[in-house]
Amino acid sequence: MTTVAFIGLGIMGAPMARNLLTFGHRVIAVNRSPGKIDAFVAAGGQGATTVSEAVAQADVVFTMLPDSPDVEAVALGPEGVFAHARPGTLLVDGSTISPQTARHIAAVGAAHGTRVVDAPVSGGEQGAIEGSLSVMAGGEASDFEAARPFLEVVGSTVVHVGPPGAGQTVKAANQLIVAGIIELVSEALVFLDKHDVDLMSAVRVLAGGLAGNRVLDRKAESMVAHRFEPGFRIDLHHKDLGIVLEAARESGSVIPLGSLVAQLMASARERDHGSLDHSALLLGVENLSGHVIAR
């Protein structure tokens, strides 16, 4: 049994922490809203009121936070991980942040004697619940090997993709692809409905061919029903596409379709859809087409 401090019990973090707990680890959770800590304690975990309190007891620290500034505050702040972790502690950051920030945190961690792995995840809330996430990890090879047993509890595909920051770079590519697919699935659904095709029959046959993808498998039915309870919010995907655009600019990569989808995601956010699931890109396509699909 290892003592794990888990910081951030959001949509993804809460089930990941529960899986580590179920596997047999001692998990101490920290979260801004105490209600989620209460629920975690009721499930058999432990809670702490501050990051420093949890980290001081931990062998491994997981962070699952919304954005780069949040991770920087938790890792680098005076009450944060590096200020209170014991030498040799392993910090595994599952958040989606900029590759540049991930590299900086890894460098500061090394100076403090803390091993750092950037390990963003993909697979949505259901993948987090099932422990079937895809984990793209960046960091020193030895640090990744130390993190692997814990990452394999939360994910079924766990891959070391390179040095510090590489995990975040791969996650940026993941978010680029996912946003593009959601937009194309949305366009296809509106296109099909305007031609009076039975949508779910069409989805079944499309999913069985080269057009098959996880968005069709997991989200098409709820999109057709206009159910947009957030598994991953538009606000967060908007943030992630900002990371993509910044990283592309730094490297001189040309992403014309990605840039367009980023604008469509921004449009959804400005239309007060930021708290909806990212599959609510469908609403923008409907608006542009002057057509709401039949439900």
Looking at the annotation, which residues are catalytic? 171
Region class of 16: left (phi > 0), else alpha (psi between -120 and 50), else beta: alpha
32 alpha-carbon distance from chain centroid: 18
Q: Which of 143, 221, 229 is nearest to 185 (CA)?
A: 221
**Contact (Cβ atoms closer than 8 angstroms) between residue 178 and residue 232:** no
**Contact (Cβ atoms closer than 8 angstroms) between residue 224 and residue 214:** no
252 alpha-carbon distance from chain centroid: 25
Give pairs for 122-126: CB < 8 Å, separation 24+.
122/171, 122/174, 122/178, 123/155, 124/218, 124/231, 124/232, 125/11, 125/12, 125/15, 125/231, 125/232, 126/218, 126/231
Distance CA 231, CA 295 (A): 21
Which positions ≥6 away from 208 have C-beta within 8 Å? none
Distance CA 96, CA 135 (A): 11
Q: Which of 42, 43, 143, 75 is nearest to 151 (CA)?
A: 143
Return the amino acid letter for 182: I
